[in-house]
Amino acid sequence: MGYLVKMSTATTLTIQGVPLNQTITIPNNPGWYLIGCPYQTVTPISNYFNINNCKQIKNFTGFWIPDGTKNSIINFEPGKGYFLRK
């Protein structure tokens, strides 16, 4: 899962826990979903998403479209959230 956290001042939010070896669950219904990166290392988006299961992925710095030639992000990064359009 991904979370948006609104804070009153700019700071670092630290969350402790046990890392899981998990894959991304792809929702069945169309629409936008907020997902987190379940990996402990940088992982290519194309390892899990393509034209058959995704229309677009965005974060606050860029976007990824399956088979896109102008994608500005290409990887999932630990600690970041992403908006998935199914």
- pLDDT value of residue 3: 75
- Give just the sign of the alpha carbon dihedral 6, 59, 35, 24: negative
Q: Is the pTM of this model over 0.75?
A: yes
Mean of per-residue pLDDT scores for the chain: 89
- pLDDT, tens digit, for every residue of 17-49? 887 667 777 778 999 999 888 888 999 999 999
